[in-house]
Amino acid sequence: MFAVIKTGGRQYRVVPDDVLEVGKIEGEVGSIIQLNEVLLVGGDTPVLGIPTVAGASVAVEVLDHKRGPKVIAFKKRRRKNSRRKRGYRDEITVLRISEILTDGAKPTKGPRPKREKVAKEPAKEADAA
């Protein structure tokens, strides 16, 4: 099953367990939020929304908030000593699709537990030398 969602003026085709970067969405890292603008729910019998599918939503887990790559707009007018340099970085939210819901259902899955980092043990060969 897949869905086409709209967020931040863009459309994304998503399936469960996809990770995608979208424009900034309010939400704490590790929380589950619902995106209600579902344009299409596909599968054996696709359902096309006019403009959105009634009762359909996509549950997503917020993984991270970060900033995108730097974009520099540089304008120069030759022989006039006129230069303008302007930089910009977009705010990005990283999401993981947890489930695609239909008929007004609520999310059943919670956020995934975080992996704990395992500390590496010092090498024993270096101590013997």
Instruction: For residue 34, give both structure tokens.
Output: 């619902």
Mean pLDDT computed over every residue of the chain: 90
pLDDT digits (tens, 9 = 90+) for 60-106: 999 999 999 999 999 999 999 999 999 999 999 999 999 999 988 88
* pTM across the whole model: 0.77
pLDDT in the model for residue 128: 59
Q: Residues 82, 74: contact at Cβ < 8 Å?
A: no
**Cβ-proximal residues to 75 (8 Å cutoff; 6+ apart), any chain:** 82, 83, 84
Euclidean distance between CA atoms 88 and 9, whole angstroms: 19
Residues of the chain with pLDDT > 90, as a percent, come to 75
pLDDT in the model for residue 69: 96
Check residue 21 and give left, alpha or beta (phi > 0: left; psi -120 to 50: alpha).
beta
Euclidean distance between CA atoms 35 and 60, whole angstroms: 7
